[in-house]
Structure 1
Amino acid sequence: MTFKELGVTADRQLVNEIKEAKVDVRDSQEEFKIQRVPKIMVRNEDYLEEYFKPRELSIGPIHSADSSLFKKELKLKLAEYFITETHNTADGLLIFFKAGFKDIKKHFDKDIIMSCTDDELIRLVFLDGCAMLGFIHSYLFQGLNKFHISNRQAELIRQDLLLMENQVPFTVLHALTRYASCVTKYEWLIPQFVHENSIIPKDLLYVILDHKDSLFGKGNGTKRPDHILDLYRRILLTIPHDSHNCFDTLLSFFDSTFRYVFSRLRVLIGYVLACLGVMERFDTPTDDSKYMISRMHSFRNIQELKTAGIKLKPTYSLRRIFFHSRFFIAGQLSIPALVVDDSTERMLLNLVAYEMCLNKEQQATDSWVTSYVNLLDVLIDNEQDVKDLRAAGILQNHLSSDNEVAQLINRVGSNCFAPSKDTYEHVREKIEKHYRRKCAIWMAQVCQSNFSSPWTILALFAATAVLGLTAVQTYYAVNPKN
């Protein structure tokens, strides 16, 4: 290929083209706009596009040109149902709606609304918003039969409403519910719908009630969710009330005390040995060494963590991932539970894609789902890892086999790019430090070899009792009572 064919024909032309070229830099404070999934997510794998495209009903402008998904007749029926249920009229509600959303275009990326006028976009968003609320109301109150929507169609629409490219601004849905005659009832439709489709297996409705202001952006400087998918993500990050166990609290106290005493003794011994010239004083790890430990972990899956005596415990929020190393020997990894079914892969990929579209400041601090998927990908290699996570109550498998779950997690992880800052980097670092302790591995091997079943424990107690009785008998044989 010649330089002419490459388009470099003259110095002046090249200079002008360089001047005209602009780098698209996302401002660190820029608000999120409804947009397409980043091309990098689907660049190498064409099949991934199917995970971001609706299969039954399009919402918003991105897929509105597909007549097989737009389904105008169904949308009109759902919208009419919602408007009637809220004791409004279509023309009156549209007038109020248009008055409040004259700047509707600011909520969308300009590339997806170039062919739309303001009025066309407002009408589209109004129809889709009413149709969404009509479907959600009918879905929650078992009223889909009147629209001749089968269970299979309802399931597909349910998943479609949580896709990143299939959204309308949350402020639109909030405004439409505010026009309802019974505001409180319709204000809770969306969070209840999201809650029933959560990938975390716990009843979190009481959590939503306790955190409603932060979830919906009411006061405290929090903004409203960008759309339903954003609300879904916020609920996954909401922290439920933990039930406090007195034994665990006491154990943690003794553990922290032991760690403090051990660290002081370690420094003292190091100082004494350094003064005697026996060895250099113990130094704390540098930032570079900490970085290398966190980035170059040597553990590969759950099986290897088990060999180091690490136990697993489920939590119910993405903000609740911990690792505790008790007395430098026993370890416990607490990780959020996950329901794995035929919609989980689609849900995780869309949440990851949404986090990739956040501004730089948010990406540096809020890549929770992306970090969670990366951590699962590290921990799960095969079906035995899935089996252990199921036994610990962390995974609920609704697929046909554990091997399918392992493949699903690895597939999502391979298509999930590492965030600029891993939210759980400190957890990986703690696991790695524990995993490198030989004493922890030795103690775990001893426990697994000798205390893996109740029979071996009973045998140990029996042997101890026999030895004790033998010792007493011997003592009295040597020193008989007068």
Structure 2
Amino acid sequence: MENKMGREECIIQVNEEDWVRQMEEEFKEVKQRSKVEFKRWKGMSIYRVPLSLKKLSEKAYQPQVVAIGPYHHKKKKVQLKEMEEHKKRALRVFLDKSNKPLHEYVNALTPMLQDLKNAYQQHPQLKCSDFLKMMVIDGCFLLELLRTSSSDKDPSYARNDPVFSKYGLIYFGPQLKRDMLMLENQIPLRVLNKLVEVACKKDTYPDVTDSILNFFELSDGNNKAKFKNSLHILDVYRRSLLSLGRKGSKVSGSRRCMDKVCCINSINKTKNKNNGEYQMRSATNPAEASTSVPPVRDCITSINNNKNDEKDRKSWIRHCVDKISFGGGKLRPPSISADDTKKKNDEFHMRPATDLAEAGIQFQCMESGSRYLDQISFHKGKGKLRLPPILVDDATKTIYLNVMAFEWFHVNRCLTEEDKENYNEGFHVTAYVFFMDRLIDTAKDVSLLHKHHIMQYTVCSDQSVADIFNTLSKDICIDSNHKLEDVQKEVAKYYRKTMPGCIAYAKRTYFANTWVTLSIFAAIFLFALTITQTVYAVLDYHKSDAPAPEPGLP
């Protein structure tokens, strides 16, 4: 007991020891490096997937057919080495069609060299000449791949070409598309744009974004503003799934912890008069964080100087030690009981699709004009949940895992106000995956969504689709302030109502079949006739028991 009290006193009565001065020195070094690091973070867009995610599904992040960019450039995999020869053939055709020498393309990319390198989280371990060579070869290969996919016959390649012919794309197409949508397998989109600009062949090589959308059979090319400043092919694909830049799309309010460097400016032991919350202030970007970090002794002194309510102060300090994170924002004192937490979770927890259908909620597939993942809506008056259609195939898991990883690392980074407005940042695809994970629990849920034309799939069974969505959200965090979270709460509230469930049960039990419905109406009609006959019989009985009037009386 005495040891425990001693440890508590040691935590509370913090003195200015050596480790405090050491941390202050480290903060000074961070301040000096912050401007350079912030500039590099801003230009970063192609990331290394952590080993913790790769262990869950390693194949989803490793290219199987073609290596694009430096991360998998010199892998010893046989399939990747074979595609290098096809890349050189694509470069030859590209140069022949443009009638420009190779050095013009290299010279055009040279001023962009440092920016291209900064786009990668892990700096490429290549010489400048080797890096430019890789950018040119990979860029020309992608442009040729996009061009040949939109034309039936191309005299530049043989009819039996294993990659660029019609039949080659049928065989390699699905594998190439999957590899081109991997986060680690990207090159900046400005490389492709610069190559097309130097080639001056707009008729042969049209707009790069349109070519990418056509290659992946996505029909969203009319909304040019949405694809402004796209970073790479994966980014273009993600934007095509969402209604970014359109009215009604909601930007998430919070930020994930790894997207900003936060610091504690002060711990104020003053309760908010309105809601009794303890307040913590945090910086919103790394540059601000580095300049606003106070001396550690100031934070400690602000705790030690407050001698009011010693018991409450100890509880608050222990709570800070246990709960503090880089997320910033508000900290609540640990006064919420487990029962209250469970009640709150049950209140806003959305049930699977089959349970919602039993409660009277109807499912409706969106029309072709509004098939974006972030446009899911719920009509409270009609109890109708509108969902976009989705096609699930063998590549779905890989694609969504990489899009979610890109959102995790990049989308909510601290950008300029112009970038925020253009990009409309948020965990939109991740929120959709979480929404579908809650909606789909078993094969019966998939079958129900398939019945309403929401879920189409080419995989083996309903259970396979359910397994895909149940594993996609594993070990992934989500922004709780997203628009779809509001939809889930509305659906959960509607589910708890009694009357819609009774009506749905009646429809499902008594009106699901025509003959059953006719039988019910016939029974009701006969029951009504029986009641009418009984009423008339009672009235006749009372009329016969009434005394007859005496003669002569009026």
Give TM-score, length-normalised by structure 1: 0.72
1:56 matched residue in structure 2 = 65
Render the CA deviation track for 1:132-182: whole Å, top value 9, x for unaligned: 111222233256755423444333222111111111111111222233444
Q: Secondary structure at the match of 1:303?
A: helix
Give the alignment partner of residue 74 of structure 1, picking from 62, 73, 86. 86
Contact 1:345 1:412 in 2 (8 A): yes
How far apart are the structure 2 equivalents of 1:192 and 1:471? Answer: 73
Give the alignment partner of residue 303 of structure 1, picking from 342, 351, 354. 354
Q: How does 1:262-277 map to 2 (within 5 A)?
A: none
RMSD: 3.9
Q: Secondary structure at the match of 2:92?
A: helix
Contact 1:297 1:428 in 2 (8 A): yes
How far apart are the structure 1 equivalents of 2:89 and 2:375? Answer: 43
1:261 matched residue in structure 2 = none
Q: How does 1:174-213 map to 2 (within 5 A)?
A: 174-183=193-202, 186-188=205-207, 190-197=209-216, 205=219, 207-209=220-222, 211-212=223-224
State the percentage of identical aligned residues: 24
1:349 matched residue in structure 2 = 401
AA paired with 1:128? D
| Alignment of 1:398 onto 2:466 | no
Residue 390 of structure 1 and its aligned partner are, at CA, apart by: 0.7
Contact 2:212 2:233 in 1 (8 A): no
| Alignment of 1:134 onto 2:144 | yes
Contact 1:74 1:147 in 2 (8 A): no
Cα distance, 1:177–1:43 mapped onto 2, change above 3 Å: same
Residue 423 of structure 1 and its aligned partner are, at CA, apart by: 3.6
Render the CA deviation track for 1:180-216: whole Å, top value 9, x for unaligned: 4441552345434435536xxxxx53x322x12x133
How far apart are the structure 1 equivalents of 2:101 and 2:521? Answer: 79
How far apart are the structure 2 equivalents of 1:454 and 1:30? Answer: 64
Q: Secondary structure at the match of 2:213?
A: helix
Contact 1:339 1:396 in 2 (8 A): yes
How far apart are the structure 2 equivalents of 1:291 and 1:367? Answer: 26
Contact 1:32 1:357 in 2 (8 A): no
Render the CA deviation track for 1:262-315: whole Å, top value 9, x for unaligned: xxxxxxxxxxxxxxxxxxxxxxxxxx9999757853443111101111111123
2:377 matched residue in structure 1 = 322
AA paired with 1:418? I
Give the alignment partner of residue 91 of structure 1, picking from 103, 113, 120. 103
Render the CA deviation track for 1:111-137: whole Å, top value 9, x for unaligned: 232x23433322221221111111222
Cα distance, 1:240–1:402 mapped onto 2, change above 3 Å: farther
Residue 44 of structure 1 and its aligned partner are, at CA, apart by: 6.3
2:295 matched residue in structure 1 = none
How far apart are the structure 2 equivalents of 1:297 and 1:227? Answer: 37
1:263 matched residue in structure 2 = none
How far apart are the structure 2 equivalents of 1:295 and 1:423? Answer: 19
Deviates more, 1:423-432 or 1:297-306: 297-306
How far apart are the structure 2 equivalents of 1:33 and 1:445? Answer: 54
Contact 2:365 2:386 in 1 (8 A): yes
How far apart are the structure 2 equivalents of 1:471 and 1:463? Answer: 12
How far apart are the structure 1 equivalents of 2:20 and 2:513? Answer: 76
How far apart are the structure 2 equivalents of 1:61 and 1:418? Answer: 30
| Alignment of 1:385 onto 2:409 | no
How far apart are the structure 1 equivalents of 2:38 and 2:502? Answer: 52
Residue 236 of structure 1 and its aligned partner are, at CA, apart by: 0.6
Query: Which structure 1 segments of 5+ residues have no match?
Result: 1-10, 199-203, 218-223, 242-287
Residue 439 of structure 1 and its aligned partner are, at CA, apart by: 1.6
2:241 matched residue in structure 1 = 236
Give the alignment partner of residue 230 of structure 2, picking from 212, 225, 229. 225
Render the CA deviation track for 1:29-60: whole Å, top value 9, x for unaligned: 95352333442xx4166252221111111111
Cα distance, 1:44–1:353 mapped onto 2, change above 3 Å: closer
| Alignment of 1:331 onto 2:383 | yes
Give the alignment partner of residue 216 of structure 1, picking from 203, 227, 232. 227
Cα distance, 1:162–1:83 mapped onto 2, change above 3 Å: farther
2:52 matched residue in structure 1 = 43
Contact 1:86 1:181 in 2 (8 A): yes
